[in-house]
Amino acid sequence: MRTLLVHPSGLMYSEIFLRLEPLGLERVAAALRGAGHEVRLLDLQIFTHRDLRRELLDFEPQAVGFGLNYLPNVPEVLDLAKRVKSLLPRCFVFAGGHSVSFIAPHVLAQSEGALDAILRGEGEAAAPLLLAAARDGGLTEVPGAVTAEGSCAKPPLLLDDLDEPRPARDLTRRRDKYFIGVMDPAASVEFTRGCPWDCSFCSAWTFYGRSYRKVSPEAAAEEVASIREPGVFIVDDVAFIRPEHGDAIAAELEKRKVRKEYYLETRADVLLRHPEVFERWRRLGLTYMFLGMEALDEQGLDLYRKRTSPDQNVKALELARDMGLTVAINLIVDPAWDAARFRLVRRWALSVPEIVNLTVMTPYPGTEIWHTESRKLTSRDYRLFDIQHAVVPTTLPLHEFYRELVRTQAVMNRKHLGVAGAAKTLRIIGRNLLRGQSNFAAAVWRFHSVYNADRQHGDHFREVRYELPVPDRRTVGQADRRELYVHRRPG
């Protein structure tokens, strides 16, 4: 079948810092191509809705699949699905991805018939079955499929072997548009899938049923070697949990003499346990590291069930600094914070050399706090669920909360664009512009137009056409955590 896969638009608040290739869609595209389908991919992080319309008329796809990893994209995808159906009524329209997997029947109903199916869970194994069923019948027999006729009783399919299919990177157009911070351009790569921890605010572990799988070191190195871009973002939730795996990939890359610049995310305790692996990667080009610290105090870390201590966090920062890595830290802002708390965080952020990133505590479907958060949601507008808006009541008046949030983000931004920082930033911008890359430069200038308290506050007063389901409040004990899973661990 002629199939068009579509990644929705980027979110304003994340586009400042990065725009990354749609790796999940590229993997689904590769699987569909392997099954004999003619596939195209359009990334609306780069292209416009008008480009999509042109593509629909030119390619006349028989199937259109939307990627829905992110809740804020649900309204856009619902509207686009309706447009595709009215333009090409016989086209099979479907969606899949991380976030939609937790609320598939709800989103399907909101599409008012525009979506023929939503595929829950990983797409590689099941998407070819879905398209075969769209042609030959039997949609409700496809594992993970949710349709108007009902949902398949079988659980979504997990890939046995992550080595195949390789992402169809040849299908993404304008790859020069993908970047992360100063790594411009940058590609993405996946070495492992899943996370064995169980933080209460996160859905990475519930999606994969707390399973953890690895790409073979040879396949991982082959893939990195095949990437044209000089920068590589490793998308793993927690990089190098298994030190021997990180080491083995490094050995394969050394053998092939592959040198790139790398950006990865990991946890403080993982870094502290096996610094030698990160040291080895440092020699291979590891430059940037993102540490999800989440909270500064013991109480906060316990609340998020992070299973690390403030002491470990401080030690990990020192270690990363000693290695010469550029580190970004994430802290979760609780809407209950008052002005004094924001002041404290600003003071702390200015006292460390690292980049400090703030995200607002948000109960997502698929997370434990979606069920256990006792504060009532103040909005169910999908677009506000981007961890840059408060969706539970704030202690400060809402507008004042955003002023404090933006003030804190601006202080941190100024820290990095201060006198010494500005000179360095200009050098990087100059170097990138010479290579024809302007993504980072554009991002730096857009900071103030995007992070703007009036705008963030105003976002709460837009017309709401699509809402999230109402959370079912309950306690989530050890035993019923499995009910949150999209995938069941094999065995």
Kindly state whether residue 270 participates in binding ligand SF4, applying the rule CB under 6 A: no
What phi-psi label fits residue 93: left (phi over 0), alpha (psi between -120 and 50 degrees) or beta?
beta
Please count the helices (runs of H) and the strands (runs of E) in the chain. 19, 17
Q: Which residue lies nearer to ligand B12 by CB, 76 or 252? A: 76
C-beta of 353: minimal distance to ligand B12 in Å?
Answer: 22
Binding site for ligand B12 (CB under 6 A): 10-11, 13-14, 18, 20, 22-25, 27-28, 65-67, 69-71, 73, 94-99, 119, 122-124, 127, 190, 202-204, 235, 237, 359, 364, 386-388
Contact between 10 and 71 under an 8 Å Cβ cutoff? The reply is no
Between 419-434 and 398-416, two packed helices, what is the crossing angle to 10 degrees?
A: 70
Q: Which residue lies nearer to ligand SF4 by CB, 165 or 292? A: 292
* DSSP character string of 131-158: HHHHHHS-GGGSTTEEETTEE-SSPPPP
C-beta of 292: minimal distance to ligand SF4 in Å?
Answer: 5
Q: Which residue lies nearer to ligand SF4 by CB, 24 or 143? A: 24
Out of ligand SF4, ligand B12, none, what residue 124 binds, judged by CB under 5 to 8 A for its kind, is ligand B12
Q: Which residue lies nearer to ligand B12 by CB, 79 or 279? A: 79
Out of ligand B12, ligand SF4, none, what residue 69 binds, judged by CB under 5 to 8 A for its kind, is ligand B12
Residue closest to 74 by CA, chosen among 467, 459, 470: 467
CA 112, CA 371: separation in Å to the nearest integer?
27
Contact between 46 and 61 under an 8 Å Cβ cutoff? The reply is no
Structure tokens at 297: 């105090």
Q: Contacts with ligand SF4 in 163-222 (CB under 6 A)? A: 195, 197-199, 202, 204-205
| Tokens 């804020």 -> residue | 72
CA 444, CA 429: separation in Å to the nearest integer?
9
Out of ligand SF4, ligand B12, none, what residue 238 binds, judged by CB under 5 to 8 A for its kind, is ligand SF4
Kindly state whether residue 487 participates in binding ligand SF4, applying the rule CB under 6 A: no
Size of the site for ligand SF4 (CB under 6 A): 11
Kindly state whether residue 267 participates in binding ligand SF4, applying the rule CB under 6 A: yes
Fill in the amino acid letter for 358. Answer: L
Q: Computed over its alpha carbons, how large is the radius of gyration of the chain?
A: 22
Q: Which residue lies nearer to ligand SF4 by CB, 94 or 240? A: 240
Kindly state whether residue 237 participates in binding ligand SF4, applying the rule CB under 6 A: yes
Q: Would you call 263 helix, strand, or coil by DSSP? A: strand
Out of ligand SF4, ligand B12, none, what residue 97 binds, judged by CB under 5 to 8 A for its kind, is ligand B12
Contact between 317 and 272 under an 8 Å Cβ cutoff? The reply is no
Structure tokens at 120: 């829950």
CA dihedral 411, 439, 425, 225 (to 10 degrees): 120
Q: Which residue lies nearer to ligand SF4 by CB, 43 or 237? A: 237
Q: Contacts with ligand SF4 in 277-316 (CB under 6 A)? A: 292
Kindly state whether residue 440 participates in binding ligand SF4, applying the rule CB under 6 A: no
Out of ligand SF4, ligand B12, none, what residue 197 binds, judged by CB under 5 to 8 A for its kind, is ligand SF4
Judged by the rule CB under 6 A, the positions of this chain that interact with ligand SF4 are: 195, 197-199, 202, 204-205, 237-238, 267, 292
